Chain A
Amino acid sequence: MRGRGGLGALGTVGVALLLALPWILSQGLLNASIQMLIAALFACAYNLLAGQAGMLSFGHAAYFGVGAFATVHAMNAFGGSGLLPTPLMPLAGALAGLIFGAIAGWFATQRTGAYFAMITLAIAELLHALAPHFKGLFGGEGGVSSTRMPSMGVTFGSTTQMYYLVLAWVLASLLALYLYTLTPLGRLTLGLRENSHRLRFLGYDVHKLSVLVFSISAMFSGIAGSLQVINNEAANYIVFDAGQSTAVVLNTYIGGARVFLGPAFGAALMTFFGYAVSDLTQSWLLYQGILFALVMMFAPSGLAGLFGMPDRLRRRFGTAAVVPFFALALASIVLLTAGTVFLVELLQRILSQDYRALAAGAPPWPPISLFGRQWSPAAAVTWLLPAAGVACGAATMLLARHKLALLEGRQEDTAAEPRAIEGERTPA
């Protein structure tokens, strides 16, 4: 009861905040928000297949891309009027995603597990390899461009108008995806993940179900691709790139595949970091990889699962008991991040071609400018400082884990007695 009411209130505040963003953010950040929303929808569409149905697709860029190209051609064909005015343009992407998803899904879902993943990967790579050769359809290297036409009395010329168009489609799609989870088909989707073998002995046609879920996931991916094209007014075959397929997998699992909005959160966060950090560092992909590896190793339920932890622990042990643990955990994360970022940036600069040319010059190993200071690669402090950061961070982390173990130990002592009694009570 508390959870549902709380979530409802949180959802209302969230939507209100999203609606107010154009008044709060600069143009640049609003543009980034559009990207975040599109990535969020793509990740949620992907998670229907990967997280809910348990089918790990490695080629979801294909359906995003098919939706994108269908839309760019629809924009050119209809010019924003007639049957498909600009605000309804994502329907073209949805339809294309659905149809292509049904065809690809029919083949891919013949197999499960690793074989399924390989087929999806192959289909996406096939498109990526073929696309440049079909100039009429995919426009070759230059891609296909179009113009967002005014429609229904709206110009769709400003970033704000575009933002609202994307927001409306993303919210409607997320709502549809959420309601889907409450339907019989939505529950069967979880059954596919949990035990598709058993479903067959309950009378379900697992292949048909899988194709259906695959198509629906592809349809919403197509809508995401469509929104990107409407925003960019162009589509290029690089949308089929494996990097795009990888990104949606990483976003989904970093966010948390078992929580409905987890993937949306992961995608928005990673897109935002990509936007904010890519100017500051050339190692963004490395950080993304490190983050993914850490989440998979230490928080397999993703960041969304991690966010639920404070509340869970607080309810179990009381606020006062968990504060020291969280203070330590936070300090450890800050230290580890600072140390790692320092090391990565330092190494990235030392290994860069420019610096290697310099290093071979007259005074060898000239100092490197980093975080507003000069650091000499020959000086011990340059290396000891980040190393100390990482070491202290690791030590603090161990301490935090020890604290948590102590808390859990105490909990078990007090709980041991009633649990034993309960265990003895066999059903009469």
Chain B
Amino acid sequence: MSEAILTVRGLRKSFGQHEIIRGVNLDLLADERHALIGPNGAGKSTVFHLISGDLAPSAGQIVFAGKRIDGKPPQQINRMGLARSFQVTNIFPGLTVFENVRLAVMRAHGLQYSFWSFIDRNAKVREHTESLLEQVRLQQRASAVAGEMAYSEQRSLEIALALASDPEVILLDEPMAGMSREETAYTADLIRTVTRGRALLIVEHDMEVVFQISDRISVLVYGEVIATGKPDEIRNNAAVKEAYLGEEVSR
């Protein structure tokens, strides 16, 4: 197995009196698909917010590719090669789907403060945008207004936005929530394909998907990782079973 590209050590986060994340340790290897599971309110999304720079940790370290990233602003973390999607759809609702993805693609092509060229004439950006749309099967919806699409389509768009910067590490927060069985199956395949050679950290409630695509699984309960291991190990772990009260894992 390869080296860890993302290391989380003793991560803590408090909101006022309440400590939500209570010393999380986590290693994400450079080419693994790693799922973070746990009951509702365990702090999975908070861990994502802390890693991606949305929130600053109260204590602990996050090291990405040899550099400390805890407390750094999200744009800096993104540029280092870590991209994420959001549990609550976080797109540009008033713009077209094409425009949504293009905004994400532009940055990867070094365009941001540029006001001396026309974006429509940039063939590279257009082709990159179109190929991403095709990957997430939204090419037919390119001219639709993103906020007016079906929820599951917005989830696909969310994935396209996360992929646009060609990141080394991808964090996906419940990418399949609200999708049909067929869409879930397609997206699981898509995730498997696009994460080849990269690191994926995924939060997902659909256990079938989790056990199907993950190389390793970490279980977060009340702000602590109680177990990390291969899917089979997690399935048979007594502490995990207890935490879930036999609910989802054994199903």
Chain A residues in the interface with B (C-beta under 8 A): 179-180, 182-188, 190-191, 193-195, 197-206, 208-209, 212, 216, 426-427
Cβ-defined contact, A203 with B114, below 8 A: no
- Tell which of B74-82, B231-239, B242-250 binds the partner: B74-82
Cβ-defined contact, B112 with A184, below 8 A: yes
**Cα A375 to Cα B150 with chains together (Å):** 61
B52 cross-chain contacts in A, Cβ below 8 A = 201
Sampled A-B contacts (15; CB under 8 Å): A182-B119, A186-B115, A186-B119, A187-B106, A190-B95, A193-B94, A194-B94, A195-B90, A198-B90, A198-B92, A201-B54, A203-B75, A204-B112, A216-B115, A426-B182
Cβ-defined contact, A194 with B114, below 8 A: no
Which of A187, A197, A426 interacts with B102 by CB under 8 Å?
A: A187
**Cα A182 to Cα B119 with chains together (Å):** 6
**Cα A185 to Cα B86 with chains together (Å):** 25
**Cα A279 to Cα B122 with chains together (Å):** 53
**Cα A221 to Cα B211 with chains together (Å):** 58
Does B117 sit at the interface, judged by CB under 8 A? yes
Which of B94, B103, B117, B119 interacts with A202 by CB under 8 Å?
A: B103
Cβ-defined contact, A195 with B92, below 8 A: yes
Return B51 CB to nearest CB of chain A, in Å.
11
Cβ-defined contact, A427 with B84, below 8 A: no
Task: Write out, one digit per residue, whether chain B residues 57-95 have a CB within 8 A of any chain A CB (1) or not (0).
Answer: 000000000000000011100110001101000111111
Return B27 CB to nearest CB of chain A, in Å.
23
Which of A183, A197, A212 interacts with B90 by CB under 8 Å?
A: A197
Which 10 pairs of residues, A with B, have the shortest CB-CB distance? A194-B92, A203-B78, A184-B111, A200-B74, A185-B115, A203-B107, A184-B114, A183-B115, A203-B79, A191-B103
Which of A187, A212, A426 interacts with B119 by CB under 8 Å?
A: A187
Q: For B111, give the chain A residue with the smallest CB separation.
A: A184
A193 cross-chain contacts in B, Cβ below 8 A = 94
A197 cross-chain contacts in B, Cβ below 8 A = 90
Known A183-B115, A195-B93; 5 more pairs at CB < 8 Å: A185-B112, A188-B106, A194-B95, A202-B165, A204-B107
Does B116 sit at the interface, judged by CB under 8 A? yes
**Cα A184 to Cα B137 with chains together (Å):** 25
Q: For A206, give the chain B residue with the smallest CB separation.
A: B75
Does B164 sit at the interface, judged by CB under 8 A? yes
Cβ-defined contact, B75 with A180, below 8 A: no
A195 cross-chain contacts in B, Cβ below 8 A = 90-93
Does B118 sit at the interface, judged by CB under 8 A? yes
Q: For B107, give the chain A residue with the smallest CB separation.
A: A203
